[in-house]
Amino acid sequence: MADVYNSIRKHHVLFKRYADELEEFKGDKRTLLKIYDVLNDFVDNVHSRIEDEILYPALIEASSGKEQIKKDIERLKSDHLVLSKLCSEILDKDLDINEIKSKLKAYDKILLEHSAIEEEIADSVISKSEKRFREAEDGFGNLDTYIREFGKDKYYAFFREE
């Protein structure tokens, strides 16, 4: 059984590490842009995709389509679009290193807050109906497929330090 939510939580820990490393970052602009280009690719093409297509539908199903959960999930889905656009805009603009840093700090803050809300909602649904959630999670997709499509080596490179 692929534990999607467990992987999602590991990704969230990774995002925190990025945020911590940005605080300490002393390198040049090119390096910083490259780091966040890679992160943005990961967030868009693996993390948020898995949430949109597996985690969120599984949470809705496990909560029997509860209106509040559906509303919360809609909000989280629109956050994904906002986060993606925000990061791309920071990377595309010709800003100086300090401007980039402060904008990326704001991006990290939103990403971490979003991740915390996700876990809060998921934990509350799972604590009430874990069996239904696990079944739904398995039914909506296979984590390995997403990792393969993104690129296995590229995916596991994120977790080399763990």
State the residues that interact with Fe ion by CB under 5 A: 51, 115, 118
- Tokens representing 126 are 């799972």
By beta-carbon proximity to Fe ion, the closer residue of 63 and 115 is: 115
By beta-carbon proximity to Fe ion, the closer residue of 62 and 111 is: 111
Instruction: Give the position of tokens 């909602």.
Output: 121
Please state, in angstroms and rounded to a whole number, the distance separating the CA atoms of residues 49 and 45. Answer: 6
Please state, in angstroms and rounded to a whole number, the distance separating the CA atoms of residues 108 and 113. Answer: 8
Q: How near is the Cβ of 84 to Fe ion at its closest, in Å?
A: 10
Please state, in angstroms and rounded to a whole number, the distance separating the CA atoms of residues 111 and 83. Answer: 7
By beta-carbon proximity to Fe ion, the closer residue of 51 and 137 is: 51
Q: How near is the Cβ of 142 to Fe ion at its closest, in Å?
A: 18
Please state, in angstroms and rounded to a whole number, the distance separating the CA atoms of residues 151 and 141. Answer: 17
By beta-carbon proximity to Fe ion, the closer residue of 80 and 103 is: 80
Q: How near is the Cβ of 86 to Fe ion at its closest, in Å?
A: 13
3-state secondary structure of 136: helix
Q: How near is the Cβ of 53 to Fe ion at its closest, in Å?
A: 12
Q: How near is the Cβ of 62 to Fe ion at its closest, in Å?
A: 17
Please state, in angstroms and rounded to a whole number, the distance separating the CA atoms of residues 153 and 148. Answer: 9
By beta-carbon proximity to Fe ion, the closer residue of 61 and 79 is: 79
